[in-house]
Every structure is written in C-alpha cells, then in structure tokens.
Amino acid sequence: MTEDTTPIATLFERAEDYSKTTLKLFKLNAIDKSADVASSLVARLAVIMTVVFSVLIISIGVALWLGKLFIDSSYGFFVVGGFYVFMAIILHLFRKQWLKYPVSNSIIKQMLKEKTL
C-alpha cells in the first residue's frame, strides 16, 4: 500500500521537522555557550582566589615587617589596613570603568564567539 500524500501535507511535515530541528539546535547552542561562559568564570575564579590568598599572606608579612620598623606590630597592620581602605575607595570610584564594563564585555564576547572546529 502506497501512501498518497499531497504536496501540502509533505510541506507541513517538513516544516514540522525543520522547526523541531531548529529548536533542538537552539537548545544545544544555548547549552554550549552557557558551559563556555561558566567554565571561563570558574577558571578565572581559581586564578582570583590564588591571587587573593597570595596578597593576604604578603599583606600579613608586610604588616609584621612595618610593625618591626615602627616598634609596635599593630602600627604595621594599621598602615596596611589604611592602604586597603585607600584602594577600596579608588576601586569604588572607578568600578564601572575597571570592573563592570570589562566583565560585561568579556561575557558578551564569550556568548557571541563563533564555534571553531
């Protein structure tokens, strides 16, 4: 038994297959981009954590060293703390130029990057 299908029925069938395939491709592309952005953020987070711990240890060492120079170790910690307050104020003033825009641009570049095989 052969099936008699009209060209309209065939067209609807192909359109349905095309829409399903397009939707599946869109989902896979979204998953790929999300995984790419997430893995990039995790890698950057690992580097940032390493830098933070290094800066913390160096800060303690500098504070103790300055404390020896100033005769009282608490003075060294006050100087290092004051330096970090100053840096926090500078970062707050320039947060959009130094933090917000570069991070946003990086995420957008990751999302729009073409996949190369």
pLDDT band (50, 70, 90) for residue 4: low
69-102 confidence digits (pLDDT tens): 999 989 999 999 999 999 999 999 998 898 888 8
By the 10 Å C-beta count (0-12 exposed, 13-18 middle, 19+ buried), 88 is classed as exposed
12-70 confidence digits (pLDDT tens): 899 999 999 999 999 998 898 888 888 888 998 999 999 999 999 999 999 999 999 99
Would you say residue 113 has pLDDT above 80?
A: no
Per-residue model confidence (pLDDT) at position 107 = 80
pLDDT band (50, 70, 90) for residue 1: very low
Residue 40 tokens, joined: 């990039």
Query: Model's pTM, two decimal places?
Result: 0.64
For 5, 8, 11, 13, 113, the CA distances from 1, given in Å and listed in that order, are 12, 20, 22, 20, 51
Residue 90 tokens, joined: 């500078």
Q: Are 62 and 76 a contacting pair, CB within 8 Å?
A: yes
pLDDT band (50, 70, 90) for residue 3: low
